[in-house]
Amino acid sequence: MAFQTEFEFELPRGYVDDSGEVHRRGKMRLATAADEILPMKDPRVAQNPGFISIIIMARVITGLGSLPAIDTKTVEKLFTADMAYLQDLYQRINAVEPVRFDVTCPHCGQSFKETVPFLEG
């Protein structure tokens, strides 16, 4: 099984470009240390610490629909539901520990913990 570094997603609402086209499907790659450290040097983050998530998303989203590139202006125009979705995806794919849930077998009724696999891309 190959190590997965890029993950496909579909935005709940979608990014609407200047021509009115809606872009929903995209890809996000795993973050590097630089993706989280370098944005802290950006003057926009010094003025508004919340801007760091905009910069990080612009760095790790590798594609969105037919857009030629993703930059901070693109990310700033996302609907809040889409930004929340992307932040959740970012957390899930970059988590150090796998996510585990209590589940119950529908056939035998036995309860156990199940690890959620990484999203298939």
Of 1-5, 15-19, 98-102, minimum mean pLDDT range: 98-102
More confident residue, 100 or 28: 28
Res 97 pLDDT > 80:
no
Tens digits of residue pLDDT in 18-66: 999 999 999 999 999 999 999 999 999 999 999 999 999 999 999 999 9
State the SS3 of the chain: CCCCCEEEEEEEEEEECCCCCEEEEEEEECCCHHHHHHHHHCHHHHHCCCHHHHHHHHHHEEEECCCCCCCHHHHHCCCHHHHHHHHHHHHHHCCCCCCEEEEECCCCCCEEEEECCCCCC
Residue ranges covered by each domain of the chain: 6-115
